Structure formats: structure tokens, C-alpha cells
Amino acid sequence: MNQIELKALAKINLGLDVLGRRENGYHDVRMVMQSIYLYDEVKIAKKKEPGITLTTNLKFLPTGDGNIAYKAAQLLMDEFDLKEGVQITLNKHIPVAAGLAGGSSNAAAVLFGMNRLFGLRLTQQELMDRGVKLGADVPYCVLGGTAIARGIGEVLTPLPAPADCHVIIAKPPVSVSTAYVYGHIKPLEITKRPDIEAMAQSIKDGDLKKMASLIYNVMEDVTVGEYPIISEIKQVMLDNGALNSIMSGSGPTVFGLFDDKEKAQQCVKTLEEKGLTQQLYLTKFHNE
């Protein structure tokens, strides 16, 4: 095998709670993570020349060690003293700096792909252990599907697939710094939190409406105040029949859950007409 092509899936947070800040700057969290069928295409090819070459369809993204996918390749090359080089090609579709873990998903795909290409024989857990050195969301992106995340996001408990539904992903024309949001959130002052245990139970029960009623993201306390357009998008989704709508991650992307495809399609049209979004997708959960 000289090359491998992979789909790096985006994620949304069905629930996101921030419990406190560690001395190292990371935060303790409790989340329910969910893969969606929106993905970047990641191609990894061996090359005889040593080193890493990375190209992407987005000119503003770094292509050196400022790119987390590059760092993932470097981590394995250094650890296993790989002599051959790799060419990494990222065809990006997941909105960037949007709370959808696009970069972390790319890094997870590189770890997985290089493990296969070079016959490193690392287990999924061993890939996840290396992934956390790159970023808190990378272990989850290696795992995928539905999971409760604890710690800084690396302590993962898989859940069964939730009831199927239609998911609108709407990124407004603003970008949010994750560091800014975490820097301004005040865990001890949070008054409303998601009930992660109840949400997990509703997923196990296949109760979509109950699960949708429980989705919540404490980071909205910071991000919505800075970017009111997030509230506007949420309201459009609710007005057009969403079971519920919240921001994903540190934002600014908003998602809505629909049990009716026609309502979801109408909501997409309304959002387009109002010009509230820069990128807009109608998709589904991914649990293969």
C-alpha cells in the first residue's frame, strides 16, 4: 500500500459543559459528541524523499507545522523513525474555526492512515493516546460515532447510535477563537448546565424528542454575547420546525435537529434567503 484516502468527519456537541480550569490551561469538560456526515477528504501518499509535504484547497491554511495534520504525521515519523516521506492532501469541506473539529478530524485521519500505510500496528486506543498530545478533540475523532467525553475530552465512553434525524449545519460569516471562549468562560458562575446522564439515557432509549429537548452548550454564554447572529440563526431554525437548535463547540456554527425532512429543507431555504450563513449543509448523524 503506497497511498490511502480517508474521510475525516466533522463532529457536533449535543451537550457541552465546562466544569473547571486546570493549572495547565486546559478545562475539565463533560460532553456528548456526535459524528455527522460532513467530511474533509484526506489523502496520504508515501514518497521516497524524507519529510512531510502538505497541500490544501484553502490557501489561508498553514501547510507546515502550524497545521495539526502535519503535526500528526511528524509525531509518528519521529516516534517510529520513518525514513520515507509522506504527501498529505487535504480537500476541506468542514468549515474552519467553526466548532466542528475539522482540524482535529484531519489529524485523526493522518494518525489512522499512517498507521495503516506504514504497518505500525497501533491499536485504536494507542492512536487515541497519541492524539491527545495534538489536541483535546483528536482522541474522539479517532473513535467517532456517539460518545460521552470527560477529562479534557480524552476520556471517552461510547454510546449507541441515537435515533436518526436531519441535521442542519449553519456557519455564520464570523470566526471564533476557541482560546478566547475558554479564556472568558467562568465555570463557577454557570447556572444552567446540560444533563449529560439524562441525554445519554435518551440516546440509549432511541427517544429523539427527549434527546433534542436536552441539548445544551454552556459556551453560548460567552460566544452569543459577542456574536448575536448565532441567536438569529437558532431562532430561524426553531421557527421552521427544529426540535431544538444550539451552537456546536466554541462556535460559531449552529446546528438544528429535525424529524421532518421537508421542514429541514424549508429551513435551509429560509436561512439562504436571510443571508445569515456563510456555509450551510443539510446532513445526518454518522454512526457506521
The residues annotated with a catalytic role in the active site are 11, 137
Which are the contacts of 275, defined by CB distance < 8 A and separation ≥ 6? none
The sign of the dihedral angle between the CA atoms of 151, 155, 160, 162 is: positive
Give buried/exposed letters for 151-180 (b at 16+ CB in 10 A, else e): bbbbebeebeebbebbbbbbbbeeebebee
The sign of the dihedral angle between the CA atoms of 22, 177, 112, 8 is: positive
Q: Which helix (H) or strand (E) holds 284?
A: strand 279-284
Determine whether 9 is exposed, middle or buried from the number of CB atoms within 10 Å of its CB (0-12, 13-18, 19+): buried
In order of 136, 215, 277, the CA distances from 266 in angstroms are 36, 22, 15
Q: How many angstroms separate the CA atoms of 152 and 147, rounded?
A: 14
- Phi and psi at 95, nearest 5°, equal -55, 140
User: Which cell is 271 given?
Assistant: 436561512
List, edge to edge, every strand of the sheet that includes 254-258: 244-247, 254-258, 166-171, 279-284
* Residue reference for cell 503506497: 2
